[in-house]
Amino acid sequence: MAAIKPEQNLDDALTLIQKGAYEEGERLLGEIIQDDASGNEVRLAALGHRGYMRMGLGRFAEALADYEEVCRLQPDDSASRSIKARLLADNGNARDAIIEAAEVLRSNPKDRMAMATIRKAQGMLGLDKYVEEGEGGRRALDIPEVPRNRVIQALEEDPNSSFPTSIHPELGRLIYTIVRAIKPTLVVETGSFIGYSSLCILQALEDNDAGHLHCFDLFCEVSDEPGAITNYTSPILGRRKTLGELARGHIEEAGLSHRVTMHAGDSSTKIREYFQQNPAKVQLAFIDGDHTIEGALKDWFAVEKLLEDDGLVILHDTIAEVCGWRGPRYLLQELGEKAATQYQWVNFPTFDKLGLAVIQKRQPIPSPRFKPSFFELLADQMFVMGFWSGSRELRNQIMKRLRS
Ligand SMILES: C[S@@+](CC[C@H](N)C(=O)[O-])C[C@H]1O[C@@H](n2cnc3c(N)ncnc32)[C@H](O)[C@@H]1O
């Protein structure tokens, strides 16, 4: 007698399940899963159907085991990961459910099941687990997306802070979060000063477990003149001769040197020189060097050539009226008028009032692969952070926007 094909068995099992003969259907699916002759695709389908049926019957632990196997065999299958996230919540593991659902939203920001899972799991956790009531009022606990590094902390807490020449810590967090969200392989920074923003980027790359940063700065000598911007004493290193020694020293002390290459000299010249010899695509550039119109445009044209489709450029000091520099805003105006079909951008009115813009290179249409745009990523990041930080108002705003 000819052996029955696994595909036929799969059809039979599904028919049985549809008729309500769950035990019989489950037994057939089990045979397909165990049978070495079943191809990968049939086995995966059988696992998925058995898991889904078990989920429907409320047998969440067994269903989760099936979906863990499906996701192990097919890690890029975001629909199965979404079901796995839901099953994690059904099994009482709210924290992992949120993490898994957030990962699904990263690749598919419109996945409704992942959104519902976050909503459900967050309800299970209870906001009190993330908020501590103390003498000073409410304090958020265990908030993700914060760079944890003693050098970053020391620079931020230094009474002789390098801000406003360095970006404000609030923006350090934002850049850190963006790097964590988009997971770039290669990042370029123009204007590193004593290395504060470099550290925020580097810590995010380290937490991503991937990526390299190229820092470009004149790295001029430290000045002794009272009040001079370059008259800087590090809370960690004390006095050093040049900004380069300070930036390098901070990065070394932070244990992040393996992720950086420092280039001293005029940024646009050095970027061209380096990448002509070492061609590569860049997913993120942070432009914070020469803020004159000429300087900002030169940095832009140097990095533009390197930018990957869908890549991002972050500009600092975009509110000319406050920071006193016209270059970054002029660059945004140029892009708005002359390159609107190639770029989209948003200019944030930041906490420090100096302004920060994020520009994204539009990807060719139709896109060869689905990749969320920065703006979608930011929405899901805010969505998730809204839940984590317990801001009901923010969550409601985002939900309203997502529904519309
Ligand atoms: C605002 S600071 C950068 C702050 C740094 N991004 C941070 O947040 O910690 C500007 C830096 O740009 C550098 N710079 C200015 N003109 C430059 C040029 N043409 N090429 C390279 N670096 C330049 C300066 O040396 C200075 O360190």
User: Is CATH 3.40.50.150 the classification given to domain 6-127?
Assistant: no
| Domain residue limits, the chain | 6-127, 150-371
pTM recorded for the entire structure = 0.63
Per-residue pLDDT at 399: 61
| Tokens 């969550």, residue located | 395
CATH class of 150-371: alpha beta
Mutational test site, ligand 1, from 216, 267, 354, max ligand atoms within 8 Å of CB: 267
On the question of pLDDT at 253 being above 80, the answer is yes
Ranges 132-141, 177-186, 267-276, 367-376: which has the least confidence: 367-376
| Nearest C-alpha neighbor of 246 from the set 291, 289, 198 | 198
Predicted confidence (pLDDT) at residue 280 exceeds the cutoff of 90 = yes
Decide if pLDDT at 368 tops 50. no
The 10s digit of each residue's pLDDT in 160-201 is 889 989 998 888 988 998 898 788 999 999 999 999 999 999
Higher local confidence (pLDDT), 121 or 304: 304
Within 6 Å (CB) of ligand 1, which residues are found? 165-167, 190-193, 196-197, 216-218, 220, 243, 266-267, 288-290, 295
Pairing of β 282-287 and β 356-361 = unpaired
Which range, 114-118, 123-127, 211-215, is most confident? 211-215
Domains 6-127 and 150-371 fall in the same CATH topology: no
Name the burial class of residue 173, with classes exposed (0-12), middle (13-18) and buried (19+) by CB atoms within 10 angstroms of its CB.
middle
Ligand 1 atom closest to the CA of 196, numbered from 1: 9
Which amino acid appears at position 404 of this protein?
S
- For β-strands 137-140 and 343-348, DSSP reports them as unpaired
* Atom from ligand 1 closest to the CA of residue 289: 12
